[in-house]
């Protein structure tokens, strides 16, 4: 007797650290996704070798070989864990296969998505950008502050272990800062955003640390701290290593000139210190920057499919009710 597998078929493009960590996460913890293909370009890569040992169909011929690899079963989601420069072609091929592309590169072609902030706004999009690791760590905090007070300016500093920054991360440093800065405003709700990344060469490697600084004209300090604390708990539901390093700091400041605002400022400064450790599925715990990206991508895929199914059911129910009334 055969059983029907109701899990959603997905593929990963990119067999490096990010793709490999995402593969292990899907296999170990996802109840709704089924990994049906692992795609790379280096036949000797550890990621492809590990996928083969785990029984996952693989190819080293790139995404153009994906259709043949998955066959008539097809694929509903393609996770792109390659590079910003490769994403345009990868997304085109994914679209031709009828799959949603979840972009873990900083290409920023599709709408920015940070799961606890705005996933529900982009259910019908064919291409979803996961921003950057720094964005996934800090934009929820900016959004939490924006929820209770207008944010004039928000700046984030992401410090990651140099060892966790592979060739792809290093090649995309410019895209990281530009993409994250945009998303701080577009998703986080700040009037203006700025992002800085630091590759920390310390040995032994340090955990990912993120600092968020926000300027607001006036705030209810208790409301801001409460909103931040609630958001940290929400992110920690899918990134267990995500936590406040210190309690949020709220201070009154006044300055004749603030470069970020190009003028005087009197109001409140909110400073939040975060730490992110990896779950150890494939990468060491200091690679929290990679873990938060793969965790956010997995959470996005699972919730996206759930919400799409629920909306389809609602639309079907509404249509049936309308037809019944008309008859």
Q: Provide the annotated active-site residues.
A: 133
How far is C-alpha 210 from the geometric centre of its chain's CA atoms?
Answer: 15
* Residue 190 · residue 117 · CB < 8 Å: no
Judge whether 243 and 209 are in contact, CB under 8 Å.
no
CB 239 within 8 A of CB 297: no
Tokens, residue 182: 């945009």
Q: Where are the beta strands (DSSP E) in 192-302?
A: 193-200, 208-216, 242-258, 263-276
Please tell me what DSSP assigns to residue 121: G
Q: Work out the number of other CB atoms within 10 angstroms of the CB of residue 221.
A: 15
Q: Is the preceding omega at residue 66 within 30 degrees of 0, hence cis?
A: no
Q: Are 133 and 158 in contact (CB under 8 A)?
A: yes
- Classify residue 119 by burial, with Cβ atoms within 10 Å: 0-12, 13-18, 19+: middle
């Amino acid at each position: 007797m055969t059983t029907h597998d109701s899990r959603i078929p997905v593929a990963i493009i990119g067999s490096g650290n990010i793709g490999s960590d995402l593969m292990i996460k899907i296999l170990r913890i996802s109840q709704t996704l089924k990994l049906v293909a692992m795609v790379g370009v280096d036949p000797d890569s550890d990621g492809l070798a590990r996928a083969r040992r785990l029984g996952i169909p693989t190819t080293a011929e790139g995404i153009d070989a994906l259709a043949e690899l998955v066959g008539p079963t097809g694929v509903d989601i393609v996770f792109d864990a390659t590079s910003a420069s490769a994403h345009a072609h990868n997304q085109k091929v994914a679209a031709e296969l009828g799959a949603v592309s979840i972009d873990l590169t900083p290409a920023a072609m599709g709408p920015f998505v940070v799961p606890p902030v705005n996933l529900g706004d982009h259910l019908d999009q064919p291409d979803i950008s996961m921003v950057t690791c720094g964005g996934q760590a800090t934009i929820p905090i900016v959004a939490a502050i924006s929820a209770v007070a207008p944010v004039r300016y928000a700046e984030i500093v992401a410090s990651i272990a140099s060892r966790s920054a592979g060739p792809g991360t290093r090649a995309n440093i410019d895209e990281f800062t530009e993409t994250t800065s945009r998303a701080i405003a577009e998703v986080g709700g700040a009037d203006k955003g700025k992002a800085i990344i630091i590759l920390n060469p310390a040995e032994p490697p340090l955990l990912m640390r993120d600092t968020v600084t926000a300027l607001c004209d006036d705030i209810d300090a208790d409301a801001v701290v409460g909103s931040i604390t609630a958001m940290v708990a929400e992110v920690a539901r899918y990134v267990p290593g995500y936590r406040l390093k210190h309690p949020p700091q709220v201070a009154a400041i006044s300055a004749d000139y603030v470069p970020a605002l190009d003028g005087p400022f009197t109001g409140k400064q909110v400073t939040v210190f975060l730490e992110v450790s990896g779950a150890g599925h494939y990468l060491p715990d200091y690679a929290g920057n990679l873990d938060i990206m793969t965790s956010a991508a997995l959470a996005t895929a699972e919730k996206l499919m759930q919400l799409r199914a629920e909306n389809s059911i609602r639309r079907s129910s509404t249509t049936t009710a309308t037809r019944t009334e008309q008859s």
